[in-house]
Structure 1
Amino acid sequence: MGCEDDEAEARTEAEGGDSQMRLPIEGLSDEAQEAVSLLLGQLAEKRSINKTRQNYFEAAQKTKHFGIAVPPHMVEFETTLSWGEGACTHLNDRINLEGFEIPDSDVLPLNLSRIIRQNKLLAESTMAHLEAQKYGPAFTMALAGYAGEPDVVVRSLSARVTTGEWNPNSRRLTKILTVTGAKWGRVTEMIYADDEMVYTIAEGDRGGLTVVHSAGVPMCPGTLLPFRPDLDNPFGRSRLSHPVMRAIDRAQRTLLRSEITAEFFSAPQRYLLGADEDIFTDEDGKPIPTWDALIGRISAIGRDEEGQVPSVYTAPQVSMQPHTDMSRHDAAIFSSLVNVPVSVLGVVQDNPDSAEAMEVRWDALNKVAERAHVSFGAGWVETLQKAVMIRDGLDDPPEELDELESKWRPASMPTRAAMADAATKEIGAIPWVAETEEALRMFGHDRATRKRMLADRRRAQGGARIGALAAAGRGLLPVAAGSPGAAE
């Protein structure tokens, strides 16, 4: 299905959803009902563009050609490019949440590690970041868990089914709505929350929507994870912007024209002068197929009534070079829009870049990733603060988490060898850094590995001290002043 069809379908769904948005929901106050209607309207308004961006990400959009260079029998022929997916995934590979920490503390307070581990936040964060790049924002919601679930459940939500109301003063969501079920184009299940309550809404036995569960919350449990937010767009901007989508359209047209040209030069064009039309008909006088005439009958042509042999000419083979040059030009334009090197777009370059040149070409994308660390990091910190509030029944974020920070792997994705080389040089300039945990991080070790290495070091040091004390007690070794076991 093409983009035009998708947009038409989305408009139809949105128009059809208007009547449902005005349906009363049993168990909701008038104020909450109005908020739900407005949020459903926001989802309907964005459904078309979100569907279009999903198609570009999945390379499912229809080629938009002008109908000039495409023969009628190839109008339905499709070409696809996965550049939309690559624009997001190449960046997403550089946005890796490593964990959380409190400055000057080795342990996260309030059993925060349990929440992170039970909800697999470090693994699921990658999915949320990808959704934000596709549509502009992603969302999280912290909810009290049911039996058999964690004490607090943190869910990552896509902008295709989730929206909210942003308060610019408190800089947080004050309302959030996510559609969790739909059937035949109508919403059947959803979750709505504001600063006081969270409602689970579903279809009742009589078909209408009704509140099936509600619970009090200290504040809206939803959190915004925006990609490239600004003052005009606090919900962020999609990486698949309109210029990016138009660049993909242009490249697909070039690819389609090259496919058509390839069809022509794969079967050399010939023409005859002075040929009798009988050579193009079979024994029954019916025209023979064009392909059979090309590969069979044309190779054996008889003389005409006057004994003359028809003249056979072959048209010059069509060159693919103009299409190759155009593809490189399209790739260069797309590369400038999404800050990825042309070489990763499947376009072969005459002079491949060196490793140093490739690293420089990734610098612009690394800067985009580092800016995303800031906006995403603030969202994840807020998510964990709300999760603790819901779990512990607090009215305000706990003071122990005021200085909670998110930790990210370097966006430049250096190799272990490069990281070790940089760490060695820094330790050479500042020797005392070697005694800190930060030195292990600079060498590329993750948090769990650093903890194990430091624990092993402490055990080894403790064993050495005990051995020294035992030896000193037997009079085998003098105990140096100031060392463990020395007399004061």
Structure 2
Amino acid sequence: MTEKGIEYLRKKLIYHKIRVDLRYKQYAMKHIDRSKGITIPTQLSQQYRAVIGWCAKGVDALADRLVFKGFSNDEFNVMEIFEENNPDIFFDSAVLSALIASCDFVYISKGDDGEVRLQVIEANNASGEIIPNTGLLSEGYAVLERDDNGNAAVEAHFLSDRTDYYYSDKAKNFSVTHNVGHPLLVPIIHRADPERPFGRSRITRSGMYWQSNAKRTLERADVTAEFYSFPQKYVTGLSQDAEPMETWKATISSMLQFTAAEDGSKPTLGQFTTPSMSPFTEQLRTAAAGFAGESGLTMDDLGFVSDNPSSAEAIKASHETLLVAGKKAQRSIGSGLLNVAYIAACLRDDYPYFRYQFTKMVPKWAPLFEADASMLSSIGDGAIKLNQAVEGFINKETLEDFTGIKGAE
């Protein structure tokens, strides 16, 4: 493929960075919605600002269930590379970043001691040109370090035979050659398709809308609660010569004194109807139901606890959408991790292996839902019957995939 050049990739990163930054702000609950509605003035809007973490919950609910265990048929011993790079942090960071921003990138390099180093780079700091049939990059670009103002201080341009490093001080620029045959920047993509080769984020536009809707509802409820606590009162029939009444004193005083006018007329006291808080509760439940349907969660997950506790089977059944989304994420992210293993093995051995040599390696994941006692019993009965029908059909490895429990050696 024709080399695009670092300037093209810089512009491409700037174009997509806005979208990625928005997802990270939504996940961190730091995004401030512009429109608050026509009923709340700007001053009150700043005072009663709601914060809801539904988008973060939608990401974490799936990310926490995606536990990578390794590769089966690891003929090239690539797990040794991952074990040397703090796998507990590396895999969780790679999965979480991919779910938030639709993808992330793994920067592969070799240290002075010859060990292969792996570093996860977020999608707002890296970009590249993807090869659709392999999921690898033909050319990559990453910002490895930024200054205090957010400007790129150290950049890297990844090519099939070398990596060029660019510093803000041009005198420090240098290149490192390698014999891998692919750029040392590998994307890990969540839910890729022909229209979106770099995947789709777990934080969808619909999910952001329902969260924004819920935030507006809470803000209106907070403002209404002030009037609910201190109902508005009124007085009619006061003389025009009466001294103006302080509004705060009229609100908090337990006793007010009014005198009759010279003509004998008396003031009339009244109170406006207190607004009800029930509509806000119903509207919040509607927003929660919309977000739950979008993200595959349940109302229980969003804080609307049901009266009757559910069993493990009932919880699994209610999360059927989340289960399907998790299996899809395992396939797409597992393919990216396999590409990381392939490129890392080539760099470690200083030999350009063919990618088809790694096709027998299969990513292994822990079950999305942990098995309880009843499920273990059902799996055991099923395994006995299947082995009676076909001898050796279910073995120790298969049971571990079903239950997530590693048996005795």
Quick check: 1:377 aligned with 2:306? no
Matches within 5 A, 1:288-299: 288=246, 290-296=247-253, 299=255
Residues 70, 79 of structure 2: 8 Å contact kept:
no
Offset at 1:251?
Answer: 1.8
1:380-439 deviation digits (Å, cap 9, x = unpaired): 11111111110111122487644111101112x123424522332133312665874444
Match of 1:95 among 46, 50, 66: 66
Residues 137, 183 of structure 2: 8 Å contact kept:
yes
Residues 63, 79 of structure 1: 8 Å contact kept:
no
Matched with 1:38 is: 8
Give distance in 2, aligned partners of 1:229 and 1:238: 10
Offset at 1:185?
Answer: 4.1
Matched with 2:197 is: 234
Give distance in 2, aligned partners of 1:328 and 1:209: 60
Matched with 1:127 is: 93
1:175-201 deviation digits (Å, cap 9, x = unpaired): 111101222343110122111111222
Residues 177, 192 of structure 1: 8 Å contact kept:
yes
Quick check: 1:427 aligned with 2:383? yes
1:152-194 deviation digits (Å, cap 9, x = unpaired): 1122221010111112355421111110122234311012211
CA 1:309–1:257 in 2, change beyond 3 Å: closer, same or farther? same
SS in structure 1 of the partner of residue 25 of structure 2: helix
Matched with 1:463 is: none
2:367 alignment partner AA:
P
Quick check: 1:406 aligned with 2:347? no
Quick check: 1:192 aligned with 2:162? no
2:404 alignment partner AA:
G
Matched with 1:263 is: 226
2:364 alignment partner AA:
K
Offset at 1:209?
Answer: 7.0
Larger deviation: 339-348 or 60-69? 60-69
Matched with 1:243 is: 206
SS in structure 2 of the partner of residue 344 of structure 1: coil
1:154 alignment partner AA:
L
Residues 279, 301 of structure 1: 8 Å contact kept:
no
Give distance in 2, aligned partners of 1:209 and 1:57: 39
Match of 1:58 among 28, 32, 42: 28
Matched with 1:138 is: 104
Quick check: 1:361 aligned with 2:318? yes
2:352 alignment partner AA:
D
Matched with 2:276 is: 319
CA 1:418–1:160 in 2, change beyond 3 Å: closer, same or farther? farther
Give distance in 2, aligned partners of 1:333 and 1:368: 17
Offset at 1:41?
Answer: 0.6
Give distance in 1, aligned partners of 2:399 and 2:241: 87
Give distance in 1, aligned partners of 2:53 and 2:242: 47
1:377 alignment partner AA:
G
Gaps of 5+ in 1: 1-30, 103-107, 282-286, 455-488
CA 1:303–1:348 in 2, change beyond 3 Å: closer, same or farther? farther
Q: TM-score, normalised by structure 2?
A: 0.88
Matched with 1:21 is: none
Residues 94, 366 of structure 1: 8 Å contact kept:
no
Task: State the Cα RMSD in Å.
Answer: 2.6
Give distance in 2, aligned partners of 1:58 and 1:435: 44
Match of 1:333 among 282, 290, 314: 290
Matched with 1:303 is: 259
Give distance in 2, aligned partners of 1:348 and 1:279: 54
CA 1:136–1:439 in 2, change beyond 3 Å: closer, same or farther? closer
1:12-65 deviation digits (Å, cap 9, x = unpaired): xxxxxxxxxxxxxxxxxxx97x51111111110012112222221112122343
Offset at 1:99?
Answer: 1.4
Residues 141, 383 of structure 1: 8 Å contact kept:
no
Matched with 1:18 is: none
CA 1:396–1:443 in 2, change beyond 3 Å: closer, same or farther? closer
CA 1:437–1:62 in 2, change beyond 3 Å: closer, same or farther? closer
Higher relative contact order (CA 8 A, sep 6+): 2
Offset at 1:359?
Answer: 2.5
CA 1:169–1:410 in 2, change beyond 3 Å: closer, same or farther? closer
Give distance in 1, aligned partners of 2:273 and 2:231: 8
CA 1:336–1:165 in 2, change beyond 3 Å: closer, same or farther? same
Give distance in 2, aligned partners of 1:97 and 1:330: 33
Residues 95, 369 of structure 1: 8 Å contact kept:
yes
Give distance in 1, aligned partners of 2:314 and 2:40: 39
SS in structure 2 of the partner of residue 253 of structure 1: helix
Offset at 1:352?
Answer: 4.9
Matched with 1:69 is: 39
CA 1:402–1:62 in 2, change beyond 3 Å: closer, same or farther? closer
SS in structure 2 of the partner of residue 341 of structure 1: coil
Give distance in 1, aligned partners of 2:304 and 2:9: 43
Query: Rg larger in 1 or in 2?
Result: 1
Match of 1:79 among 50, 58, 66: 50
CA 1:422–1:199 in 2, change beyond 3 Å: closer, same or farther? farther
Tell me the matched-pair count: 399
1:212 alignment partner AA:
F
Gaps of 5+ in 2: none
SS in structure 1 of the partner of residue 231 of structure 2: coil
Give distance in 2, aligned partners of 1:72 and 1:406: 52
Give distance in 2, aligned partners of 1:340 and 1:123: 26
1:228 alignment partner AA:
R
Match of 1:159 among 101, 123, 132: 123
Q: TM-score, normalised by structure 1?
A: 0.75
SS in structure 2 of the partner of residue 181 of structure 1: strand
SS in structure 2 of the partner of residue 421 of structure 1: helix
Give distance in 2, aligned partners of 1:421 and 1:231: 43
Give distance in 1, aligned partners of 2:89 and 2:32: 33
Offset at 1:86?
Answer: 0.8
Residues 236, 267 of structure 2: 8 Å contact kept:
yes
Quick check: 1:393 aligned with 2:393? no
Residues 146, 152 of structure 2: 8 Å contact kept:
yes
Offset at 1:70?
Answer: 0.8
Matched with 1:215 is: 177
Offset at 1:217?
Answer: 3.6
